[in-house]
Amino acid sequence: MAPERDRRAQLRAGLSRSREAVAAACREVGREPDSVRLIVVTKNFPAADAAALIEAGQTDLGENRDQEAAAKAADLAALGLEPTWHFVGQLQRNKTRSVAGYANWVHSVDRTRLADALDAAAAARGRTLNALIQVNLDGGASRGGVLTADLPALAERVAAAGSLRLKGVMAVAPLDWEPAKAFALLRECSETVRRIEPEADEISAGMSGDFAAAVAAGATMVRLGRNVLGEREPMA
């Protein structure tokens, strides 16, 4: 049992440090700490770690692969644990039925056909999903996300969906951009979406290396993994 206790202690310490770091980033720019939601991304970590985080009071958990996320969600549900699941990775249409079964938020809606498939999947399960539109900030062909020029049309489509709630935007800062530049552009994209759906004011931005810049630019959600969980080998 000692290794389990040690791991729980590690997770609590990592969670505490991460929460304080986010709070400090908020204070640095004159924001209230509770204006930013911490999402702990548990990819490549076991369900036992996710359960320990929930027991420590961290209920917003993120995953980026459906195969791993669906199994982990089922494991936790069997324990009577129901976190708020955020699907943050690239999503294929053939996975929408599965994702609609456990996710509360989908951060990576980036094309009309995906929005339609996710809407239909959520409706079939009698659920309503919170949707963020992922924006491709630099137009890179290998990068997920809608181009900024196509953002308004996609936002209108998601806003009209019966089983999706358009809640805002998400992006990953391009590696060769200064984070501040990337997140300033995402803030402009957020304003574009809010002209279509005024209540879509969420901005999911910032990961382990750049979350302070995201907070400074107005992020309302940051997605942290190794800050909380440490470095681990991928799950088998």
Average pLDDT value over all residues in the chain: 95
Is the per-residue pLDDT at 186 higher than 70? yes
Is the per-residue pLDDT at 119 higher than 70? yes
pLDDT tens-digit readout, 43-101: 999 999 999 999 999 999 999 999 999 999 999 999 999 999 999 999 999 999 999 99
Question: 33-63 burial by CB neighbour count: b if 16+ within 10 A, else e?
Answer: eeebbbbbbbbbbebebbbbbbebebebbbb
Q: What is the pTM of this model?
A: 0.95
Q: Give the orientation angle of helix 112-124 with respect to helix 151-160, to 10 degrees.
A: 10
Copy the structure tokens of residue 133: 């539109």
pLDDT, position 219: 98
Element (H, E) at 143: none
Distance CA 47, CA 73 (A): 8
Is the per-residue pLDDT at 197 higher than 90? yes
Copy the structure tokens of residue 138: 């630099």
pLDDT, position 5: 87
Please tell me what DSSP assigns to residue 137: S
Copy the structure tokens of residue 200: 């879509």
φ/ψ of residue 200, rounded to 5: -85, 70
Domains of the chain in sequence order: 2-227 (3.20.20.10)
pLDDT, position 2: 67
Residues in the chain: 236
Across 197-206, average pLDDT: 98
Distance CA 219, CA 12 (A): 24
